[in-house]
């Protein structure tokens, strides 16, 4: 029996089955595309978990070794005992020019599926603030971050200008490549080598005029440059 000889009800059912099959094919195509886009994010989350579980506190512990009897010890705010934060990259720890806990990054994924970065002082695997009284205060668990699609931009980078407790310019982010990241501020360039997940942190004493400041690197054979000011 040819299709045009089918009863109307069966022809209608046949049309519905064809439409359903086409919808299934389209759904499978979209799922495959999302899975491809999600591979980097899954690798990111797995790598963060591995880094936190393997490396966490040891890196931070080494930077607290001090000498000199006249230096007061670091203090932790009462009821704010540090605990390792998920997503913190201990290997991103970068010394502060005045000493104390190093600066480090936290990496996470927001609700839109974008990579996000946050920065703070690192102690016992947690990010926080560190004041002139040498007191460490852990940052809130849901601290905000700078977010972009790393697959799209190639170089996620942001800057914080802090007046207190001491003037600091902190540039940090993620690179999809393995080549060095060049950070140029006020005519002075620092060469940063990306660590785990492509993380990098640049800490400078002082607050700078960011006009003309840039960060650049090479990703997949192409130069990627981002303005900082």
pLDDT tens sequence for the chain (229 residues): 455 554 555 555 556 556 655 655 555 565 455 545 555 566 665 555 554 444 433 333 233 333 334 445 556 555 545 556 789 999 999 999 999 999 999 999 999 999 999 999 999 999 999 998 889 999 887 778 999 999 999 999 999 999 999 999 999 999 999 999 999 999 999 999 999 999 999 999 999 999 999 999 999 999 999 999 9
The Cα–Cα gap between 136 and 80 comes to 9
Same domain, 130 and 32: no
DSSP 63: T
Find out whether 90 and 101 touch, Cβ atoms under 8 Å.
Answer: no
Q: What is the pTM of this model?
A: 0.70
If asked whether residues 28 and 111 sit together in one domain, one would say no
What DSSP letter does each residue of 161-191 carry, written as one string? Answer: EE-SSS-EEEEEEEESSSSPEEEEETTEEEE
Whether 195 and 111 map to the same domain: the answer is: yes
Q: 161 and 217 in one domain?
A: yes
Whether 204 maps to a domain, the answer reads yes
Please tell me whether residues 105 and 206 are part of one structural domain. yes
Query: Do 99 and 140 fall within a single domain?
Result: yes
The answer to whether position 76 is within a domain reads yes
Residues 148, 160: one domain? yes
Residue 225 to residue 181: CA distance in whole angstroms: 10
Is 54 among the domain residues?
A: yes
174 and 103 within one domain: yes
Instruction: State the total domains in the chain.
Output: 2
Q: Are residues 91 and 181 in the same domain?
A: yes
CA 213 to chain centre: 21
Domain co-membership, 127 together with 182: yes
- Kindly state whether residue 2 falls inside one of the protein's structural domains: no
Same domain as 74, residue 15: no
Is 51 a member of any domain?
A: yes
Answer yes or no: is 135 within a domain: yes
Question: Is residue 3 situated within a structural domain?
Answer: no
105 and 36 inside one domain: no
Residue 160 CB partners (closer than 8 Å, separation 6+): 119, 168, 169, 170, 172
* Contact present, 91 and 105 (Cβ < 8 Å): no
E-strand ranges in 58-176 read 75-76, 88-94, 103-109, 115-123, 126-130, 135-138, 146-148, 155-162, 168-175
Range of 93's domain? 45-227
């Amino acid at each position: 029996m040819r299709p045009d000889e089918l009863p109307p009800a069966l022809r209608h059912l046949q049309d519905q089955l064809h439409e359903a099959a086409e919808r299934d094919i389209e759904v499978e195509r979209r799922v495959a595309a999302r899975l491809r886009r999600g591979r980097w994010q899954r690798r990111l989350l797995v790598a963060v978990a591995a880094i936190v579980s393997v490396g966490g506190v040891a890196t931070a512990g080494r930077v607290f070794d001090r000498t000199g009897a006249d230096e007061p010890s670091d203090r932790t705010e009462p009821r704010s005992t540090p605990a390792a934060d998920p997503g913190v990259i201990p290997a991103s720890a970068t010394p502060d020019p005045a000493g104390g806990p190093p600066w480090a990054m936290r990496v996470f994924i927001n609700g839109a599926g974008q990579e996000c970065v946050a920065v703070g002082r690192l102690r016992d695997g947690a990010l926080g603030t560190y004041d002139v009284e040498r007191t460490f205060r852990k940052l809130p668990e849901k601290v905000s971050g700078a977010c972009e699609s790393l697959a799209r931009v190639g170089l996620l980078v942001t800057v914080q200008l802090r007046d207190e407790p001491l003037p600091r310019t902190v540039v940090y982010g993620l690179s999809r490549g393995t080549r060095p990241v060049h950070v140029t501020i006020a005519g002075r360039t620092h060469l940063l080598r990306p660590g785990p997940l492509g993380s990098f942190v640049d800490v400078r004493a002082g607050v700078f005029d960011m006009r003309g400041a840039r960060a650049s690197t090479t990703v997949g054979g192409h130069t990627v440059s981002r303005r900082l000011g």
